[in-house]
Amino acid sequence: MLLAEDARPRLTETDAAERLGIKPSLLRKMRQCGRGPAFFKVGRSVRYDSVDIAAYLGHRRVAPANEVRA
């Protein structure tokens, strides 16, 4: 049985770094230090889910000090 999340295409390290606006080498270093977005590793292959990349960016959002919270 194939789950919907399994059908989503995975991003390469280069594609994920591009979406984050950083170099692949920085993303690699973050991964090695236990930081950065969640990833999948099968053998030597590292892949990222676009949902995890979006969530990672969302958690790093900084609102301006004068922004009113509802």
* pLDDT per residue as tens digits for the range 14-61: 999 999 999 999 999 999 999 999 999 989 999 999 999 999 999 998
Global pTM reads 0.77
Q: Which residue has the higher pLDDT, 29 or 3?
A: 29
Residue 30 is inside which H or E element, if any? helix 24-32
Beta strands per DSSP E along the chain: 10-11, 40-42, 45-49
